[in-house]
Structure 1
């Protein structure tokens, strides 16, 4: 890693942490109590289930690229919390389909509002439409190249 690149990486690290600290997300966190105790993995699974009818475990494994054993333990936790239910799939009787309970649907609604709040703060920190479009273009580029 050359010195200019290393300087940029260090600056990104400092700025990222500064945003997390200065963002004052505590007020947001308190506003969204339903999602506060859930992990990122749990919220991701809830989102996947909410976006598609008849989601089976294999769909979630493929979407998140996690081992079946890991997913099973997360699903067990979500089921114990009455957020999802597992039942035999109509399209593949060998698989379980996952569905959100009413509580799960409420959590997903709150999660969407939370994300709109956070990302709204990020976008509103940019002055113009053009800046926001450029920011999105760069984020897209990062998202498309980060796993290469």
Structure 2
């Protein structure tokens, strides 16, 4: 007789939910990495522009071009501020997805442990049945050898 767990579909569902939560977390981490890369690029652009402004200040650069570069630095500052907000939102999303995944992992573990307990109980019952069958066969043989009825 083979073990069949009555709630196997629930176990499968919990496993699928955990897998979906892993995908969601993976997507959130990818989004966070993208936002952080964009932020880093903006900061590098700003630092390069500041270097250009400093070089232009030392040389003979027109006031209008310096003003234009300063306006662009201001624009980059605004972009950096917005991107910092985006990064924080992405971090919150990663944390939320991590918490969600942890919950799904606990759910799956509970159901897997319940299935394992049921399987262990089934195996013990099967061993007990086999032992009882062997005991009965031994009793019948003994009775047949001694010529006594059971």
Q: TM-score, normalised by structure 1?
A: 0.28
Higher relative contact order by CA 8 Å / sep ≥ 6: 1 or 2? 2
Structure with greater strand percent: 1
Q: TM-score, normalised by structure 2?
A: 0.28
Structure with greater helix percent: 2
